[in-house]
């Protein structure tokens, strides 16, 4: 997630505003234009100008309240954040309703004003109903869910452990009983959140309906410069493009797990046991790459081990990420980034460890918040978060409502696109490895990448499929868990290691559900990052296989990227995509090109196996 406390994200997160008297004054002087004055193109412009001014000021206050709650969870910081969020939500809902009053003259408005009015209408992630007390109730629920998840701990081998402890053990353990205990332990933190989650869904849906949407899912799908109904089809189209590759990977990995653990633990057919894949949600499988590495073709680069051997610590990991961006011409991070970021888990207090990037003041106060460990996975995440921060800084001079990613998938894709340049050649250049594996190791390199990039795709899609069903009422509260596992089976082909029931609330064990962060953005980003990366490699004149391209040090690539980032949200995303890649469509051909040799290889490996589940 990014917490991007500028005007646009204030709306998006439902964040904002603070304290008593100030808030009342702000509410009192909120623009009344649309209600009192004639609805004209001029009044629309002055309405927007006032909204942008209000929201810019409020963003910083909200950001600070949220930051302190996320880095120091107590009763008091939760109270302060919820109060701030409730006030801003009330204001933003009011603005959204006022924005709708200009619909009648939409064709007389200049494109910029029309776009800003639209952004106001779709800006809230969780809109509150207008009735007295509803915004406060929604904000209390949302802060409480996020905090409950973040404080989650469970007993393992006689000790209370956190999610980051559990994830590290899970990445390295090859003991099915231990893996099952870790999986079950973490999922036990979620059932207490179910009732509050259901309440939150009810309230936010009521708010969405007041704004003219069918439900919250309809509102979320409306943020992509196309009709909401077309967007759902668009995600299915992209999934259809990559599904055959996922199915080959699933088949190959299941075979390897069967060979390792035997039929009693992992059968040759059917879904894969979710706790065997090296990640709590089976969303990325890179940590179990050693179990599936192709003999003779493995590159032998264990990045986690190499980082440790070269005495990397979390700070050095972040400095290395910054150095990459500097090498392509981005200005260094400000001094305050280093003094104000949370790079490791602090002792003695509860924090939100799920990684995020923050823009506190829409000027220079950008920060990350992570509980970084020295692993390949967190090295990737460091680049991911920095991508958000460089994006935020690039669009800071846009007007308030245009400070945002071209779409939210773009925001999630930038750091990842850069991290695709972490090739063996690059690692050798920065001294992490001593020699570059030759092309006979390409299949190993590609398989390792696919374990993260391809494995993630169905998960990236299904999280919001579940939420869309929940928001629309297609899935009732009493069927939450059943619906979750239907989707996980259908799309990922994974199964829980022990029987589940409606006494469980497994979606709640994934951060973005209690954290109320839309998830389709990550699915889009997996596709988009390869489109961006291929465009950058073409621009750099790269002639070799795509996966060996690193644009480290290429200032031309950096300049063109900076130009796209600066555009922010001011143009429909197809314009931004076209300017950078030459196409107006999100499309899987770049990711397909990247993994083409692997796909052929997997098909050969899977010959004679019965694939699917």
Nearer to ligand X8Z, 424 or 458 (CB): 458
Q: Rounded to whole angstroms, how far apart are CA atoms 21 and 461? A: 43
Radius of gyration of the chain (CA): 24
395 is catalytic: no
Which of 33, 71, 125, 356 is in the footprint of ligand X8Z by CB under 6 A? 356
Beta-carbon contacts of 66 under 8 Å, excluding residues fewer than 6 positions away, are 3, 5, 13, 15, 81, 84, 85
The pair phi, psi for residue 370, each rounded to 5°, is -140, 165
Write down the H helix ranges in 3-133: 7-13, 20-28, 33-36, 41-70, 75-100, 111-122
Contact 532, 417 (CB under 8 A): yes
392: contact with ligand X8Z by CB under 6 A? no
Packing angle of the helix pair 41-70, 111-122 (nearest 10 deg):
40
556 is catalytic: no
Min dist CB 354 to ligand X8Z, Å, is 6
Of Zn ion, ligand X8Z, none, which one sits near residue 356, judging by CB under 5 to 8 A according to partner kind? ligand X8Z
Min dist CB 529 to Zn ion, Å, is 11
355 is catalytic: yes
Nearer to ligand X8Z, 384 or 403 (CB): 384
567: contact with ligand X8Z by CB under 6 A? no
Of ligand X8Z, Zn ion, none, which one sits near residue 606, judging by CB under 5 to 8 A according to partner kind? none
Beta-carbon contacts of 182 under 8 Å, excluding residues fewer than 6 positions away, are 156, 166, 169, 170, 173, 275, 280
Of Zn ion, ligand X8Z, none, which one sits near residue 480, judging by CB under 5 to 8 A according to partner kind? none
Q: 309: number of CA atoms within 13 Å, CB side?
A: 10
412 is catalytic: yes
Min dist CB 164 to ligand X8Z, Å, is 12
The pair phi, psi for residue 155, each rounded to 5°, is -85, 130
187 is catalytic: no
Min dist CB 441 to ligand X8Z, Å, is 26
Number of other residues whose CB lies within 10 A of the CB of residue 392: 27
- The single residue of 118, 383, 388, 547 carrying the catalytic annotation is 388
355: contact with ligand X8Z by CB under 6 A? yes
Min dist CB 259 to ligand X8Z, Å, is 29
Alpha carbon separation from 97 to 23, 33, 321 (Å, rounded): 19, 12, 42
Nearer to ligand X8Z, 116 or 411 (CB): 411
Contact 496, 506 (CB under 8 A): yes
- The single residue of 23, 96, 190, 355 carrying the catalytic annotation is 355
Nearer to ligand X8Z, 314 or 424 (CB): 314
Nearer to Zn ion, 213 or 330 (CB): 330
Which of 1, 44, 418, 588 is in the footprint of ligand X8Z by CB under 6 A? 1
DSSP lists the bridge partners of residue 367 as 358
Nearer to Zn ion, 412 or 452 (CB): 412
Of ligand X8Z, Zn ion, none, which one sits near residue 522, judging by CB under 5 to 8 A according to partner kind? ligand X8Z
- With residue 202 as reference, give the H or E element that holds it: helix 194-210
Q: 74: number of CA atoms within 13 Å, CB side?
A: 7
- The single residue of 118, 250, 411, 512 carrying the catalytic annotation is 512
Nearer to ligand X8Z, 399 or 517 (CB): 517
Q: Can you give the binding site for Zn ion, defined by CB under 5 A? A: 412
List active site positions.
354-355, 384-385, 388, 412, 512, 522
* Sites of contact with ligand X8Z (CB under 6 A): 1-2, 355-356, 381, 384, 522
């Amino acid at each position: 997630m990014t917490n991007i406390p500028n005007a646009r994200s204030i709306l998006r997160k439902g964040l904002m505003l603070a304290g008593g008297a100030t808030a009342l004054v702000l509410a009192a002087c909120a623009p009344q234009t649309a209600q009192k004055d004639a609805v004209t193109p001029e009044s629309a412009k002055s309405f927007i100008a006032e909204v942008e001014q209000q929201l810019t000021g409020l963003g910083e206050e909200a950001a600070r309240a949220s930051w302190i709650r996320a880095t120091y969870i107590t009763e008091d910081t939760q109270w302060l954040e919820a109060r701030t969020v409730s006030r801003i939500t009330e204001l933003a809902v009011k603005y959204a309703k006022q924005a709708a009053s200009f619909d009648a003259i939409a064709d007389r408005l200049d494109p910029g004003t029309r776009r800003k009015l639209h952004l106001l209408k779709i800006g809230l992630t969780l809109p509150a109903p207008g009735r007295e007390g509803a915004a406060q109730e929604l904000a209390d629920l949302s802060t409480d869910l996020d905090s409950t998840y973040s404080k989650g701990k469970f007993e393992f081998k006689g000790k209370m452990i956190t999610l980051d402890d559990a994830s590290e053990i899970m990445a390295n353990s090859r003991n099915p009983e231990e893996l099952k205990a870790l999986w079950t332990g973490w999922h036990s933190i979620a059932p207490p959140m179910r009732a509050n989650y259901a309440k939150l869904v009810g309230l936010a849906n009521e708010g969405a309906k007041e704004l003219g949407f069918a439900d919250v899912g309809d509102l979320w799908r409306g943020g992509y410069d196309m009709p909401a109904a077309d967007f759902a089809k668009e995600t299915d189209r992209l999934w259809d493009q990559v599904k055959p590759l996922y199915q080959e990977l699933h088949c190959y990995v299941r075979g390897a797990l069967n060979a390792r653990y035997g039929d009693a633990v992992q059968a040759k057919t059917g879904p894969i046991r979710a706790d065997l894949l090296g990640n709590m949600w089976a969303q990325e499988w890179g940590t179990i790459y050693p179990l599936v590495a192709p003999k003779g073709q493995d590159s032998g680069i264990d990045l986690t081990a190499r980082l440790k051997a070269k005495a990397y610590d979390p700070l050095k990991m972040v400095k290395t990420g910054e150095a990459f961006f500097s090498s392509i011409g981005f200005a260094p991070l400000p001094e305050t980034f280093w003094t104000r970021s949370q790079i490791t888990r602090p002792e003695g207090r509860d924090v939100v460890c799920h990684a995020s990037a923050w823009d506190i003041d829409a000027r220079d106060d950008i920060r990350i918040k992570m509980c970084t460990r020295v692993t390949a996975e967190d090295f990737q995440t460091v680049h991911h978060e920095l991508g958000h921060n460089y994006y935020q800084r690039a669009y800071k001079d846009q007007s308030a409502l245009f400070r945002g990613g071209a779409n939210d998938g773009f925001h999630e894709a930038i750091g990842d696109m850069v991290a695709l340049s972490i090739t063996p050649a690059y690692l050798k250049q920065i001294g992490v490895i001593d020699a570059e594996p030759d092309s006979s190791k390409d299949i190993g390199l590609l398989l390792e990448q696919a374990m993260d990039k391809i494995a993630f795709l169905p998960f990236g899609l299904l999280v919001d499929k579940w939420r869309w069903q929940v928001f629309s009422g297609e899935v009732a509260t009493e069927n939450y868990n059943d619906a979750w596992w239907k989707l996980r089976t259908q799309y990922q082909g994974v199964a829980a290691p022990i029987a589940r029931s409606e006494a469980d609330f497994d979606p709640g064990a994934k951060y973005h559900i209690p954290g109320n962060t839309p998830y389709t953005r990550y699915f889009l980003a997996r596709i988009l990052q390869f489109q961006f990366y291929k465009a950058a490699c073409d621009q750099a004149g790269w002639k070799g296989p795509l996966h060996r391209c690193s644009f480290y040090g290429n200032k031309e690539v950096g300049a063109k990227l900076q130009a796209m980032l600066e555009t922010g949200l001011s143009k429909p995303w197809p314009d931004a995509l076209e300017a950078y890649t030459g196409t107006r469509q999100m499309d899987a051909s770049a990711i397909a090109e990247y993994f083409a040799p692997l796909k052929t290889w997997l098909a050969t490996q899977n010959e004679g196996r019965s694939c699917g589940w």
